Amino acid sequence: MHDLREESAVNAPLNLREEGRLRVLQALYDSVRTSRPELIRRTGLSRATVSALVADLITTGLVQEENGPAEQETRPTGRPAQPLSLNPSAAYAIGADIGHAHVRVVLCDLFGTPVWDRGEIKEVDRAPYETLDLVAELIDQAMRDCGVPRERVLGLGAGIASPVDRDGALGGEGILPGWTGIRPKAELEERTGLLTQLTNDANAGALAERLYGAGRTADDMVYVRLSAGIGAGIVADGRLLLGAGGLAGEFGHLPAVRNGRVCRCGNRGCLETVASPVAIARLLEESWGQPVTAADLPNLLARGNAGARRVIEDAGEAVGHALAGLVTLVNPQLIVIGGDLAAAGEALFEPVRRAIARTALPSAANQVTVVAGELGPRAEVRGAAGGVLASAPRSLAIMSGADPLALPD
Ligand SMILES: [Zn+2]
């Protein structure tokens, strides 16, 4: 088993020097590019303290000083202030996305930009150990390919197609069949030696679109993932809504059809039984008497197939009706639609908007915009890594104090 950094070390109270370093690192992280005078203003620390801390951080390779003045930043003496920024390759985070039928792993730099990215088709639902082994192999490969040692990786964020409670246990019986009793967080930590945060995949997608994508300016937004599983991440007042047991946003299990098909959750007629790409393909298959898969849908639409267009419109309408309830209840300014089905474009979006306009509280319907996600199939995996990077300044404040990082020039 790998040596695991103590989780408590990251959460332990900071000493005075670490606290100062944290303030400087946080200001650098938030502003991307700044200067010493700006750091003094933002941290409330003295000029001497900031100078000493910055000098230390430059020596360890965490902070880099660029040539040329920071934008619109001039010292009273008239000498331009030197721009400072965090070295994006000072540390990394790894994201993993474990869906029903795929896994994906990214290695992201300090600012969440992927530097390595790989997805694999995988039957996940009934093969938990094989899946976890595959994720660990991809992680090893990412670090090897990029020459990034484990010590420079702040942690692993893993998004999974299942509700996750606050203790990191999987909830929602039947949603990920075959994973009952499995503790993915502990299993991944054992396989990778990396501190692991487990999160629901739609919540990870919501975080990514909020940090890096379509929701960058939205404090009240809903991200909906329309893939083999349907889920949502709800951001209210800038915070992700989790619910008492991590079940908030299980959008695919809202009732859509009275006495419809039996869903894997045990209810009948859930949205997922009518609006997932699998459910849509099944309708065409039954009608045409020949195999149709979810992967065929974009092609059928592009060729103007009337049946495909109709079933996607019906799915859009069902999604829109379910969203209308959410619009009335939580009053989001933005709905971001991601997942495989988002590729259907206006054939899907138009009926979604129409159903919201028709059934949500009119004033709430008027305030919401429905857009496609900007991050495509990378949303979940980038959000999972983004969750780890949220505490990067704190981790770096502790790491950079322990011993100098062996960083490349
Ligand atoms: Zn269900």
CA of 228 to the centre of ligand 1 (A): 12
pLDDT in tens, 320-356: 999 999 999 999 999 999 998 999 999 999 999 999 9
CA of 46 to the centre of ligand 1 (A): 57
CA of 174 to the centre of ligand 1 (A): 9
Whether the CB-CB separation of 364 and 330 falls below 8 Å is answered with no
CA of 143 to the centre of ligand 1 (A): 38
CA of 317 to the centre of ligand 1 (A): 18
CA of 270 to the centre of ligand 1 (A): 5
Buried/exposed 5-42: b ≥16 CB within 10 Å, e otherwise: beeeebeeeeeeebebbbbbbbbbbebeebbbbbbbeb
CA of 76 to the centre of ligand 1 (A): 64
In the predicted model, is pLDDT for residue 74 greater than 50?
Answer: no
Whether the CB-CB separation of 235 and 221 falls below 8 Å is answered with yes
CA of 320 to the centre of ligand 1 (A): 17
Q: What mean pLDDT is predicted for residues 258-266? A: 92
320: its two tokens = 């829109």
d(CA 75, CA 47): 13
d(CA 199, CA 274): 26
d(CA 282, CA 290): 10
Q: What mean pLDDT is predicted for residues 193-219? A: 96
CA of 254 to the centre of ligand 1 (A): 7
In the predicted model, is pLDDT for residue 381 greater than 90?
Answer: yes
Give me the residues paired with residue 234 across strands: 222
In the predicted model, is pLDDT for residue 164 greater than 50?
Answer: yes
pLDDT in tens, 125-137: 899 999 999 999 9
CA of 287 to the centre of ligand 1 (A): 24
CA of 129 to the centre of ligand 1 (A): 25
CA of 251 to the centre of ligand 1 (A): 9
CA of 253 to the centre of ligand 1 (A): 4
- Band (pLDDT 50/70/90 cuts) for residue 224 is very high
Map out the domains of the chain with their CATH numbers.
7-89+392-402 (1.10.10.10), 92-205+381-389 (3.30.420.40), 216-373 (3.30.420.40)
CA of 299 to the centre of ligand 1 (A): 28
Displacement of CA 75 from its chain's centroid (Å): 40
**How far is CA 218 from each of CA 30, 202, 234, 370, rounded to the nearest angstrom?**
17, 17, 11, 12
CA of 256 to the centre of ligand 1 (A): 10
Give me the residues paired with residue 153 across strands: 92
111: its two tokens = 């600012």
CA of 180 to the centre of ligand 1 (A): 17
CA of 264 to the centre of ligand 1 (A): 6
Residue type for 85, please? Answer: S
DSSP assignment, residue 115? Answer: E
CA of 99 to the centre of ligand 1 (A): 16
CA of 273 to the centre of ligand 1 (A): 7
CA of 268 to the centre of ligand 1 (A): 7
81: its two tokens = 């202030």
What percent of the chain is modeled with pLDDT above 90?
76
Task: Tell me what the pLDDT averaged over the chain comes to.
Answer: 90
Contacts (Cβ under 8 Å, ≥6 apart) of 244: none
Q: What pLDDT is attached to residue 69?
A: 56
CA of 20 to the centre of ligand 1 (A): 49
Q: What pLDDT is attached to residue 246?
A: 86
